[in-house]
Amino acid sequence: MARVLGLDFGTRRVGAAVSDPRRSIATPLEVYERRDATQDSRHYRTLVAENEVDRIVIGLPLHTGGREGTAASLARTFGDWIAGATGLPVVYFDERYTTVDAEDAMIAAGLKRSKRKGLRDMLAARILLQNYLDAGCPETEARALPLSDAAEETA
């Protein structure tokens, strides 16, 4: 079974994580500084080939109530672009609070602020991808619920 690549999209940096072949464990991979479409395309084609990826999960930054805003629109545009650049299917997955969770984990580990900045996006991508794997790797996008309703449905 091929791996899944999880991406935490940002306008300047993109965090990446990759699953194991059994799609049960997400591992942080990199933080990529975006350059231009040509270099970025070359980078991601190489990344998916080297890691034997057959699907890409893009974090969808939603509002607490589940609505999409400007950041989600930018993530979808990036997802459409990367699907074209790599030829792979892209799935969007709720990434609410992954960056906060990554920051909290690094603070708990005692990392200084200067070290945290370089790791934050990569760890957020790992959390996003692990959540996706734990959800059973859905091939289609689930309806986003407000956080309070989502918690009640899983209880």
CB 46 within 8 A of CB 53: no
**pLDDT tens-place string over residues 103-119:** 767 677 776 777 777 77
> What is the number of structural domains in the chain?
1
Which CATH number is 132's domain given? 3.30.420.140
Task: Give the lowest-confidence range in 33-37, 62-66, 82-86, 142-146.
Answer: 142-146
Is the pTM value of this prediction over 0.75? yes
Strands 26-33 and 3-8: unpaired
Q: Which structural domain, as residue segments, surrounds residue 42?
A: 3-154
How many Å apart are CA 86 and CA 54, to the nearest integer? 10
pLDDT at 82 over 70: yes
The H or E element that residue 90 is part of is strand 90-94
Q: Which long-range contacts (CB under 8 A, 24 or more apart) does 100-108 make?
A: 101/127, 102/126, 102/127
